[in-house]
Amino acid sequence: MLTGVTYTRKARDGDSREHSYRVTRCHRNPYHRLWKPGVDVVAYPDTGKFGYGNLVTCGSTWHCPLCAPKITEYRRAELAAGAARVIGQGGEIVMMTLTYRHDADMRLADSLDAFYTARDKFFSCRAVKETMRQVEAMGRVYSTEVTFGANGWHPHLHVLVLCEKRRDDLVDRLETLRGQWSRAVMKSGLGKINDHGFDVRNGDYAAEYIAKYGHEPAVFAWSAAHELTKGHVKQGRGGNVTPFDLLGVLATGKSVSIGNREIGPDDASDLFREYAIRFQGRQQLVWSKGLRDKLGIQAERSDEEIAEGDGERDVIGTLTLDEWRMVLGYKNGRGQLLAMLGKHGRSALPWIIESLKKAKPNHPDEPWFSEEKKFVGY
Ligand SMILES: [Zn+2]
């Protein structure tokens, strides 16, 4: 998917270095291990499912259809716990949505930084700070999302404002900040906002948003990544698609129509690259400073830690590096092996491996495979 794609990041010494995306190695490259080289096949007693161990997990919410659902589900549970606490203490949560007007010719490269600048200008301006004080906001949670539609990329920011007390005029008070957002967008070079550029909704919407958070990418773990290759391409709301939907176009080879455009695999690939580069390194969900402490929500775990998981697992076997390379030689071989284990049980592992050895690889150009040292980073 992102083979050969690199991004540039400034190092501490000021030099820019090229890095390859860690997602290209996710659930693919084993870690170097002296005592028992290879890839573990594991069973999760809690769920009865199977998976792999000793593999790189990229922990990218933006790029990885395998890691993203795990991370967003964890983040959603945290958010729901925080929200429950606010409501339980007699508070209320309001949801603001901020965006700007974009058209099909606008590149993400030109608009995304400006959008973040507008956000910072907005939240640091005096009127906004004063209003937040008046509504007794305990803090905010920011969630950046992006879809692609007839008018090009549509980045938008949902801001949950967690208020100490329930009061009738919360939405109206926050509504008064439309002018401030409009000015911040204008000053950041993104032109005039339209009606949809600024939106404030009450607690019911905030609750619905939290409940659905992270369910947008319609891909869950291996089984559903499987589904993605079977031709499931979901249309986003209002004819917009999500970046993972674009991956679906790539996986199935089936175009999707967006506005009056047919997006085929080549376009989808270009668009996903544009998105991947621009969102690399950004945080998807951000809690304002001190909010976690106020709500007694535990210290933050990194996306990578969440993606690695800490559930109980039994190692039921270890594939040698050659065997693993063989699995990678089949299209969706990793998913298929797990599906076969699910069907025939853990004792079937040895014969599954034997039958793999007899079959003919149908994905022999598997491009990347190497062992890596743990914690090398990007
Ligand atoms: Zn990943």
Convert the pLDDT of each residue in 94-131 to its tens digit.
Answer: 999 999 998 888 889 889 999 999 999 999 999 999 99
The whole-number pLDDT of residue 220 equals 32
Sign of CA dihedral 266, 267, 270, 272: negative
Chain-centroid distance, C-alpha 150: 22
Strand ranges for 46-128 from DSSP E:
49-53, 92-98
Residue 140 C-alpha to ligand 1 middle, in angstroms?
28
Q: Phi/psi at 372 (nearest 5 deg)?
A: -135, 155
The answer to whether 139 and 100 have CB atoms below 8 angstroms apart is no
Report the 10 Å Cβ neighbour count for 219. 25
Distance of alpha carbon 334 from alpha carbon 53, whole angstroms: 12
DSSP H helix total and E strand total for the chain? 14, 12
- Which domains occur in the chain, in start order? 67-220+280-305 (3.40.1310)
Ligand 1 mean position, distance from CA 72 (Å): 12
Distance from the alpha carbon of residue 58 to the mean position of ligand 1, in angstroms:
4
Question: pLDDT of 141-200, one tens digit each?
Answer: 999 999 999 889 999 999 999 999 999 999 999 999 999 999 999 999 999 998 889 999
DSSP code at position 34: S
**Prediction pTM value:** 0.82
- Report yes or no: 64 and 225 within 8 Å, Cβ to Cβ: no
The pLDDT of residue 369 is: 66
Distance CA 207, CA 87 (A): 10
Distance 26 CA to ligand 1 centre (A): 5
Cβ atoms within 10 Å of 44's Cβ, excluding its own: 14
Mean predicted lDDT score pLDDT of the chain:
84
pLDDT of residue 40 exceeding 50, the answer is: yes
Average pLDDT for 289-298: 92
How close is the Cα of 282 to the center of ligand 1, in Å?
Answer: 15
Residue 45 has pLDDT above 50, yes or no: yes
Helix, strand, coil shares, percent, the chain, to 5: 45, 20, 35
Task: For residue 364, report the distance from its CA to the centre of ligand 1, in Å.
Answer: 22
Q: Quote the ligand 1 centre to 278 CA distance (angstroms).
A: 18
Per the document, the length of the chain is 378
User: Measured in angstroms, how far is the CA atom of residue 268 from the centroid of ligand 1?
Assistant: 20
Ligand 1 centroid to Cα of residue 101, in Å, is 32
At a CB cut-off of 8 Å and minimum separation 6, what does 317 contact? 40, 41, 349, 350
Check residue 72 and give its pLDDT: 87
Residue where the block lists tokens 């401030």: 180
pLDDT at 4 over 60: no
